[in-house]
A and B are shown apart, each in its own frame.
Chain A
Amino acid sequence: MEHIRTTKVEQVKLLDRFSTSNKSLMGTLYLTATHLLFIDSSQRETWILHHHIAAVEKLPLTTSGCPLVIQCKNFRIVHFVVPRERDCHDIYNSLLQLSRTAKYEELYAFSYNPKQNESEQVKGWQLIDLAEEYKRMGVPNANWQLSDANRDYKICETYPRELYVPRTASKPIIVGSSKFRSKGRFPVLSYYHKNKEAAICRCSQPLSGFSARCLEDEHMLQAISKANPSNRYMYVMDTRPKLNAMANRAAGKGYENEDNYSNIRFQFVGIENIHVMRSSLQKLLEVSGTKGLSVNDFLSGLENSGWLRHIKAVLDAAVFLVKAIAVESASVLVHCSDGWDRTSQVCSLGALLLDSYYRTIKGFMVLIEKDWISFGHKFSDRCCQLDGDPKEVSPVFTQFLESVWNLTEQFPQAFEYNEAFLLQIHEHVHSCQFGNFLGNCQKEREELKLKEKTYSLWPFLLDEQKKYRNPLYNANFSPELTLLEPNTVSFNFKFWRNMYHQFDRSMHPRQCVFNLIMNMSEQNKQLEEDIKELEAKIKQRNGQSSAVLVKEHQQSAHPAPVALKTPPSFQKEQPLIPVNDAVRTIEGSNTADNRYSEFVAEFSKAEPAVVSLEYGVARMTC
Chain B
Amino acid sequence: MSLESEQQRKRKVDSVTFKVWCNKLLYVPQLFFAFVNEEKFSENGWMVYNPMSEYRRQGLPNERWRVTFINEHYGLCDTYPSLLVVPYNATDDDLKKVAAFRSRNRIPVLSWIHPETQAVIMRCSQPLVGMGGKRNKDDERYLDIIREANGQISKLTIYDARPNVNAVANKATGGGYEGEDAYPNAELFFLDIHNIHVMRESLKKLKDIVYPNVEESHWLSSLESTHWLEHIKLVLTGAIQVADKVSSGRSSVVVHCSDGWDRTAQLTSLAMLMLDSYYRTIEGFEVLVQKEWISFGHKFASRIGHGDKNHADADRSPIFLQFIDCVWQMSKQFPTAFEFNEQFLITILDHLYSCRFGTFLYNSESVREKEKVTEKTLSLWSLINSEKSKYTNPFYTKELNRALYPVASMRHLELWVNYYIRWNPRIRQQQPNPVEQRYMELLALRDDYIRRLEELQITNNSKIPNSSASSASPSQMMSQVQTHF
Q: Do A and B bind each other?
A: yes
Closest to A527 in B: B449
Interface: A412 (CB within 8 A): yes
The segment from A54-62, A134-142, A549-557 that touches chain B is: A549-557
A560 & B411 in contact (Cβ 8 Å cutoff): no
**Could you say which of A300, A302, A511, A616 contacts B241, with CB atoms under 8 Å apart?**
A616
Query: Are A560 and B471 neighbours in the complex by a CB distance under 8 Å?
Result: yes
Residues of A within 8 A of B400 (CB): 591, 593, 595
User: What is the CB-to-nearest-CB distance from A376 to chain B, in angstroms, rounded to a whole number?
Assistant: 35
A511 to B, closest residue via Cβ = B334
Determine which of B397, B428, B462 lies in contact with A576 in the assembled complex, contact meaning CB atoms within 8 Å: B397
Considering only CB atoms, which chain A residue lies closest to B114 in the complex? Answer: A596
B336 to chain A, nearest CB (A): 6
Interface 9-mer from B64-72, B166-174, B439-447: B439-447
Binds B, one of A151-159, A332-340, A537-545: A537-545
The residues in B between 166 and 199 inclusive whose CB is less than 8 angstroms from any CB of A are none
| A531 to B452 alpha-carbon distance, docked (Å) | 7
Taking a contact as CB atoms under 8 Å apart, the answer to whether A300 and B411 are in contact is: no
A300 touches B221 (CB 8 A): yes
Q: How far is the CA of A552 from the CA of B229 in the complex (A)?
A: 71
Q: Which of B220, B241, B397, B435 contacts A573 (CB 8 A)?
A: B397
Size band of the A side of the interface? 35 or more
A564 contacts the other chain (CB 8 A): yes
B426/A308 in contact, CB under 8 A = no
Are B248 and A613 interface neighbours, CB within 8 A? yes
Counting CB contacts under 8 A, is B43 at the interface? no
Q: Of the candidates B406, B412, B449, which one forms a contact with A524 in the assembled complex, judged by CB atoms under 8 Å apart?
A: B449
Q: Report the nearest A residue to B233, measured CB to CB.
A: A295
Contact of A490 among B219, B460, B477 (CB under 8 A): B219
B421 close to A (CB within 8 Å) = yes
A293 to B449 alpha-carbon distance, docked (Å)? 50
Which of A474, A517, A568 is close to B454, meaning CB atoms less than 8 Å apart? A568
- Chain A: CB-nearest residue to B428: A487
Nearest-CB distance from B234 to chain A (Å)?
A: 9
Which B residues are CB-close (under 8 A) to A594?
401
B453: Cβ under 8 A from any A Cβ: yes
| Pairwise interchain contact B404-A510, C-beta atoms closer than 8 A | yes
* B349 on the A face (CB < 8 A): no
Q: Which of A29-37, A177-185, A188-196, A494-502 contacts B (4 or more CB under 8 A)?
A: A494-502
**Does B449 lie within 8 Å of A620, measured CB to CB?**
no
Q: At the interface, yes or no: B212 with Cβ under 8 Å from chain A?
A: no
Contact of B435 with A412 in the complex, beta carbons under 8 Å: yes
B460–A538 touching, CB < 8 Å? yes
Are the CB atoms of A622 and B467 closer together than 8 Å? no
A47-83 vs B, CB cutoff 8 Å, 1 = contact: the mask equals: 0000000000000000000000000000000000000
B29: CB under 8 A from chain A? no
Q: Does B464 belong to the interface (CB within 8 Å)?
A: yes
Flag if A294 contacts B230 (CB, 8 Å): yes
Q: A534-B457, A573-B397, A599-B401 are in contact. Are A299 and B450 (CB under 8 A)?
A: no
Docked pose: A568 CA to B454 CA in angstroms: 7
B459 touching A538 by the CB < 8 A rule?
Answer: yes
Smallest CB separation, A234 vs chain B (Å): 30
A513/B457 in contact, CB under 8 A: no
Q: Does B438 contact A471, Cβ atoms closer than 8 Å?
A: yes
Q: Does B216 contact A (CB under 8 A)?
A: yes
Residues B446 and A561 in contact, CB atoms below 8 Å apart: no
- B374 part of interface (Cβ distance < 8 Å): no
Residues of B within 8 A of A24 (CB): none
Bound CA span A46–B470, Å: 52
In the complex, the answer to whether B248 meets A600 with C-beta atoms within 8 Å is yes
Q: B457 contacts A552, CB within 8 Å?
A: no
Is A298 interfacial (CB 8 A cutoff)? yes
Residue A472 CB within 8 A of the other chain? yes
CB <8 Å contact, A575 and B399: yes
CB within 8 Å for A491 and B446 given contacts A295-B229, A562-B478, A595-B400: no
* CB proximity to A under 8 Å, residues B210-232: 214, 216-221, 223-224, 227, 229-230
A560-B474 in contact (CB<8A): yes
Indicate if the CB atoms of A577 and B336 lie closer than 8 Å.
yes
**Chain A 602-622 interface mask (CB, 8 Å, partner B; 1/0):** 100000000011011101101
Q: How far is the CB of A414 from chain B (nearest CB, A)?
A: 9
Taking CB atoms, residues of chain A closer than 8 Å to B75 are none
* Residues of the A chain whose Cβ atoms lie less than 8 Å from the Cβ of B230: 294-296
A105 within 8 A of B: no
Q: In this assembly, does A21 line the interface, its C-beta being within 8 Å of a C-beta of chain B? A: no
CB pair B333 A509 closer than 8 Å: yes
The residue on A at minimum CB distance from B404 is: A510
Q: Does A583 contact B (CB under 8 A)?
A: no
Residues in chain B near residue A474, CB distance under 8 A: 434, 438
- B contact residues around A545 at 8 Å (CB): 465, 485
In the complex, how many angstroms separate the beta carbon of B438 from the nearest chain A beta carbon? 5
Neighbouring B residues of A602 by C-beta, 8 Å:
402
Q: Is the CB of A619 within 8 A of B471?
A: no
Task: Decide: A489 and B481 in contact? CB cutoff 8 A.
Answer: no
Which residues from chain B contact A577 at a C-beta distance below 8 Å?
A: 336, 397
Pair B443/A549 contact, Cβ less than 8 Å: no
B31 within 8 A of A: no
With known contacts A299-B224, A538-B456, A591-B399, A523–B463 Cβ distance under 8 A: no
Is A531's CB under 8 angstroms from B470's CB?
Answer: no
Given A531-B449, A559-B458, A562-B477, A520-B442 contact (CB < 8 Å)? yes
Of residues 276 through 334 on chain B, the ones whose CB sits less than 8 Å from some CB of chain A are 333-334
Contact with A along B410-423 (1 / 0, CB 8 A): 11111101000100
3 cross-chain pairs, A with B, having the tightest CB-CB distances, nearest first:
A616-B244, A303-B220, A299-B224
Q: 26 A-B Cβ contacts within 8 A?
A: A294-B230, A303-B218, A303-B220, A304-B221, A489-B214, A491-B214, A507-B409, A509-B333, A511-B334, A513-B335, A513-B435, A523-B446, A534-B456, A541-B463, A544-B485, A554-B462, A559-B460, A560-B464, A564-B453, A594-B401, A599-B401, A599-B403, A600-B247, A619-B408, A620-B408, A622-B409
Q: Which residues of B contact A (CB under 8 A)?
A: 114-117, 214, 216-221, 223-224, 227, 229-230, 233, 237, 240-241, 243-244, 247-249, 333-337, 395, 397-415, 417, 421, 426-428, 434-435, 438-439, 442-443, 445-447, 449-450, 452-454, 456-465, 467, 469-472, 474-475, 477-478, 481, 485
Beyond A545-B485, A560-B472, list 15 extra A-B contacts (CB 8 Å): A295-B413, A303-B218, A472-B435, A491-B417, A491-B421, A524-B449, A527-B449, A527-B453, A534-B460, A545-B465, A587-B334, A596-B114, A613-B249, A615-B405, A619-B407
